[in-house]
Amino acid sequence: MIPISVPLLDEEEKQAILEVIDSRRLAQGPRVAAFEKAFAEFCGTQYAIATSSGTTALQTAVLALGIGPGDEVITSPFTFIASANAVLFAGAKPVFVDIDERTYNMNPGLIEAAITPRTKAILPVHLFGHPCDIEAIMAIAARHSLAVIEDACQAHGATVEGRKVGTFGVGCFSFYPTKNITTAEGGIITTDDAELADRAQLLRNHGQRERYYHETIGYNFRMTEIQAAIGSVQLHKIKQFTAARRANAAYLTARLEGVITPYEAPGYRHVYHQYVIRVPEGRDELAGHLRRHGVATGIYYPLPVHKQVAYQRLGYTDHLPVAEKVSSEVLSLPVHPALTPEDLDRIVQGVNSRWS
């Protein structure tokens, strides 16, 4: 079976892990600092603050911006639930606006109608590796004095007019094993704002600048030295990984028939964390057909966040027609860098033979 994703680790990562073990320094230390420096350079930001996951990166960013009870944050309903949960964890309220049907990202044309006196920030997601319309979102945020938190958990290295995501607002990335690069679990915040970086560093480490002197209430959201060692090796490979994802996506797009292939907006660079097709009729049958053909698929996401039981219990009654429609039509095909030419042909044959 061709897997939907596979983390690519080899001797280099193994060696890096062994070096950490030999050093006897396991908790946040010089390797985390080195990984932060390298990731900040990769993105082009002044600061990067490593965390234990993408979720804790988002949570730390929300808290570092001073968002709390009574505040609202506008976000996308079509995402992994952590994007919105990060707002709830701070005691604030996620407010959902519908998405664009081609990019699956927040529709900026709907944001201003959702702004209230309680709105403090916009939290767009660069879903599947395609940047959201971040320039339009930054302009709206500037007009209304709102902060912007970019959920770039799926979009390492994606660009808009050559500028990397995570450099427009406060960036949050994930290094979960399925992501374009991994640290096993892990996350990172990117910013040019020295004060925000300082608050984020305090929040992720129990509010201590100096050991056992706590100037604020914080958390243990630290990354370990083992995670950072893996991450530094992976970061060296990101260019090659992204090129392979883009080449695989181009190959599929040129050959797939009878389905809606992913859109890449002019001036945007998609990094294909997911290769998502739309199948308006018979999505689940196609997934079954592909499974029998030896191709694993995924559905990201079968239910928008506002429709999740957990959110229904909170009283969300929104009707967001585009997010609701696409969640019943999307299907992710394998696009990861480990695919062979034979794998790609099997995926194409599987999709194109579905009705035969």
Ligand X SMILES: Cc1ncc(COP(=O)(O)O)c(C=O)c1O
Residues that bind ligand X (CB under 6 A): 53-55, 79-80, 82-83, 125, 151, 153-154, 174, 176, 187
C-beta of residue 39 within 8 angstroms of C-beta of residue 31:
no
Nearer to ligand X, 96 or 286 (CB): 96
Nearer to ligand X, 106 or 256 (CB): 106
Ranked by CB distance to ligand X, the top (closest) residue is 54
Question: Least distance (Å) from ligand X to the CB of residue 298?
Answer: 12
Nearer to ligand X, 31 or 130 (CB): 130
- For residue 202, the SS3 value is helix
Tokens of 351: 């999709």
Tokens of 75: 């976000």
Question: Least distance (Å) from ligand X to the CB of residue 219?
Answer: 14
Nearer to ligand X, 54 or 334 (CB): 54
Nearer to ligand X, 80 or 316 (CB): 80
The amino acid occupying position 87 is: V
Q: How far apart are CA 13 and CA 231, in angstroms?
A: 9
Question: Least distance (Å) from ligand X to the CB of residue 157?
Answer: 15
Question: Least distance (Å) from ligand X to the CB of residue 355?
Answer: 32
Q: How far apart are CA 67 and CA 338, in angstroms?
A: 41
Q: How far apart are CA 270 and CA 348, in angstroms?
A: 21
Nearer to ligand X, 180 or 297 (CB): 180
The amino acid occupying position 11 is: E
| Nearest Cα residue to 173 out of 104, 227, 106, 218 | 227
Strands 93-96 and 72-75, by their bridges, are parallel
Tokens 């429609």: give the residue. 325
Residue-wise DSSP of 302-325: SS-GGGSHHHHTTT-----HHHHH
Question: Least distance (Å) from ligand X to the CB of residue 350?
Answer: 25
Q: Fill in the DSSP letter of residue 167.
A: T
Question: Least distance (Å) from ligand X to the CB of residue 300?
Answer: 8
